[in-house]
Structure 1
């Protein structure tokens, strides 16, 4: 492969010589990859795999420096650089596949099951099945670690996490202790299969889940056929909540909202929540309101939680119907953090939006809104918007606000006169 002229510059007209050297470069790299593949096939220990890894790294370095021939585009040839790089990558994957298994792999599998056990809601039968699975797992790995037997499903996940830590702490070599590691992996796989087979709450049908939680108990003995049983139960839970204000009654209503994929039931549940405005409903209703759902926005207004303000002010750029609902909700929530955003809507091109904005400012009661409301009274072309501004000034109720509203007792519009007369009689 070498001679005394190897270092000489090739003649510019000797294209064949350059191509021959390039071909030899490709063949040399391919031969080295062939050798590496044979060594990989024969590898039996981690040390053998380390040697293959080192060889592949050296080939990768040489490949990066090699001046390989360009592919002939007319012949649709594959780029030799890319072909060699792909083969090198495949061999690296082969090294990774032959490594291990390691004791850490078993620990990860056990921890994954621990997470499933802790995050899943189990039925009574399912909880018993999980506890049995943990007990069987403890027996299977007793030679290597002690697994605490959980006294309830609530502690089963923690027991498995502790077992995972104990397994990870074992000093097991992937070559010398391969049998022990394999037994731990088999036990972890059996544990995962047994837990997967246990009955979770989510495995039940929707009605089975509702029945399991006692949702229908409130209508036992009733035979009303004019409503679906779910709606009948929701209305009964609503009645109970009005009397008790017990958050558990609201939880029963929210279960339907969470479980049932029914526009009819969602609409009726939201109507119920709008009537009773339970603070416990904020999170699920807020999630729906983020989709610009007008009914959910109305419920947020009734609940009156300041956390909704940041979401709602972003809806004031929507269609007029959405803006009106949102303005009303912001007014009902009563957080003066919304004052500026609401006041900006006084300039909206839609007169019903301007009217809603004025009324929302009245509900907010922020004295900073007095002058903008005075401008609406003096300049707006829509009498409804002007009447709402006068109403809002009355709601704010300071001396300055009342004085401004009272000035319009002789206004051209009767609706404005009515609000101005209220101010004059204060």
Structure 2
């Protein structure tokens, strides 16, 4: 410690001495591959490589270490080392131990590399995917948007790229404008505020937030950041990206809410005033059915995992018929029909959903499942599926006399004249009066003169139900022949 009386000249001489000593120190030499590759020489060589790895400061230094490890690996391959005794589990395995050491050092090289600009870009892209794939609540959407703004601002501070700074300014402007709009809307009329798919009214669409992140990622990826020269900048960007990921994880999404909270937040209960039905979900469902709110019925079907509510949601669609047919409800019901759900098939018939015909035709020949066939035949008839005329006509000859009448009735509902001959054959020769009566009914539904004449031939039939259909066909012919 100096007492204040030290001579400056003495201090200068000490510095010169230190510099001279440093100059006299020998420079570190690179590891030298041993002339003879033995366990001992290779171990010593790997020790030197490990020391070189610890001293590495740049990507070039790490490249040199990797090259040394490649040399070590080649030397080990050519080395004449003893094989372990297979009968002794505890026997030494020098080759295996050296291979493990090389692998460990390679991992050390990879851990020491970077970080790179590519790592930042990957983190941003991951965040953008999270933003796009998550269903946010209104509050969660707002927090996610703020997380994006915070990240872009941090990126603009970290990297001196004008385009990133412009992205930050644009993000600020958009979010500020939305905040002002929301404040004005709330002041004007809170009850009129609506919620879009992205979250709160006026919220920045997720697509715009994702586009902003993509733009920043492109600018960072093209900024030419060097892992050595720009290490601090890249580290700052990674820290900002990690914060973005953390903020998105903390933002509220629909899955974080209880089911009744989700329904309440999405306005499911808003239709309720005074009600007497319990549970309240059922009461609300009835109101949504009356008002034709298909999306709300689908919301209940998806959210309320009880057989009671599932049945009532599907029954609501069945009662609504064509009124309940939307792209979303079709998607739901076609998915169920694809799993042989007879209730869904029945509803698709009530909706006259032509989109279901291809799926339903696959079930026409399911003779081992007559209940599925009955639902399918009726649905095809209600849809008016002309593509089903041939397959259904063929079913007039199937063995099950409980299913054959459904095939005949379906042909009548479709009303295609190609069904007249097979229906007339069934009326003439089927052993079941139920089938014959159904064929007569179907011919009356087709309603052409040929069809009515085919049915009217049996007006004197011994079977009352067949005779009834024939008499109605004869009356229709007589009415058509009588001048107005």
Aligned residues of 2:39 and 2:81 also touching (Cα < 8 A) = no
Q: Aligned pair in 2 of structure 1 residues 421, 46: CA closer, same or farther (>3 Å)? A: farther
For 1:122, the equivalent position in structure 2 comes to 136
Moved more, 64-73 or 156-165: 64-73
For 1:395 and 1:111, the matched residues in 2 are separated by: 61
SS class of match (1:351): coil
Structure 1 unpaired stretches of 5+? 1-23, 242-248
Match of 1:293 among 322, 341, 360: 341
* Residue deviations 1:101-122 (CA, integer Å, cap 9, x gap): 2212212211222233234333
Q: TM-score when scaled to structure 2?
A: 0.71
Aligned residues: 394
For 1:331, the equivalent position in structure 2 comes to 381
Match of 1:274 among 318, 338, 347: 318
For 1:191 and 1:232, the matched residues in 2 are separated by: 42
Q: Does 1:178 align with 2:231?
A: yes
Match of 1:376 among 407, 426, 432: 426
Moved more, 171-180 or 61-70: 61-70
Q: Does 1:257 align with 2:257?
A: no
Q: Aligned pair in 2 of structure 1 residues 129, 75: CA closer, same or farther (>3 Å)? A: same
Aligned alpha-carbon RMSD (Å): 3.5
State the Cα distance separating 1:295 from its structure 2 match. Answer: 1.4
Aligned residues of 2:43 and 2:98 also touching (Cα < 8 A) = no
For 1:273 and 1:34, the matched residues in 2 are separated by: 74
Q: Does 1:46 align with 2:59?
A: yes
For 2:229 and 2:66, the matched residues in 1 are separated by: 21
State the Cα distance separating 1:27 from its structure 2 match. Answer: 6.3
Match of 2:279 among 228, 233, 245: 228
Q: Does 1:386 align with 2:430?
A: no
SS class of match (1:270): helix
Aligned residues of 1:26 and 1:80 also touching (Cα < 8 A) = no
Aligned residues of 1:118 and 1:157 also touching (Cα < 8 A) = yes
SS class of match (2:229): coil
Match of 1:283 among 331, 351, 354: 331
State the Cα distance separating 1:262 from its structure 2 match. Answer: 1.1
For 2:308 and 2:474, the matched residues in 1 are separated by: 48
Q: Aligned pair in 2 of structure 1 residues 380, 190: CA closer, same or farther (>3 Å)? A: same
Alignment of 1:343-382 (within 5 A): 343-382=393-432
SS class of match (2:225): coil
* Residue deviations 1:290-311 (CA, integer Å, cap 9, x gap): 2222211111111112111122
For 1:239, the equivalent position in structure 2 comes to 290
Q: TM-score when scaled to structure 1?
A: 0.79
For 2:188, the equivalent position in structure 1 comes to none
Moved more, 148-157 or 320-329: 148-157
SS class of match (1:308): helix
State the Cα distance separating 1:58 from its structure 2 match. Answer: 7.4
**Structure showing greater Rg:** 2
Structure 2 unpaired stretches of 5+? 1-35, 176-202, 478-484
